[in-house]
C-alpha cells in the first residue's frame, strides 16, 4: 500500500528525467532519480506527488512513477 509523503510543485521547468535528474520542489526539498530511466515530458512547475511504497520513494506525475532518493 502506498503512503503519500508530500505533494509539491517542481521548481521552474520540468523536462522529465534522463538518468540522474535532480528535482527541486517548492517545499525546499531536493530529490534525485535513483534508477536509470529516460522519459521526456514538458511542464512548467507541475504539481507532483512523492509516495512511499514497498520501502522505496516514488515520484508520481502524469501516470508515471519514478524511484527517487532524498538529497536535501
20 CB contacts (<8 Å, ≥6 apart)?
32, 33
Q: What is the mean pLDDT of the chain?
A: 97
pLDDT bucket at 1, cuts 50 / 70 / 90 = confident
The pTM assigned to this predicted structure is 0.92
- CA dist 25 → 1, 49, 69, 71 (Å): 24, 10, 13, 12
From CA 57, how far away is CA 68, in angstroms rounded?
Answer: 6
Q: What is the mean pLDDT of residues 43-60?
A: 97
Q: What is the mean pLDDT of residues 46-52?
A: 98
pLDDT of the residue at 5: 97
pLDDT for 31 beyond 90: yes
Amino acid at each position: 500500500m502506498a503512503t503519500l509523503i508530500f505533494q509539491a510543485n517542481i521548481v521552474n521547468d520540468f523536462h522529465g528525467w534522463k538518468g540522474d535528474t535532480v528535482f527541486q520542489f517548492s517545499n525546499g526539498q531536493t530529490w534525485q532519480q535513483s534508477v536509470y530511466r529516460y522519459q521526456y515530458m514538458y511542464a512548467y512547475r507541475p504539481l507532483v506527488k512523492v509516495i512511499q511504497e514497498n520501502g522505496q520513494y516514488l515520484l508520481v506525475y502524469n501516470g508515471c512513477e519514478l524511484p527517487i532518493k532524498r538529497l536535501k
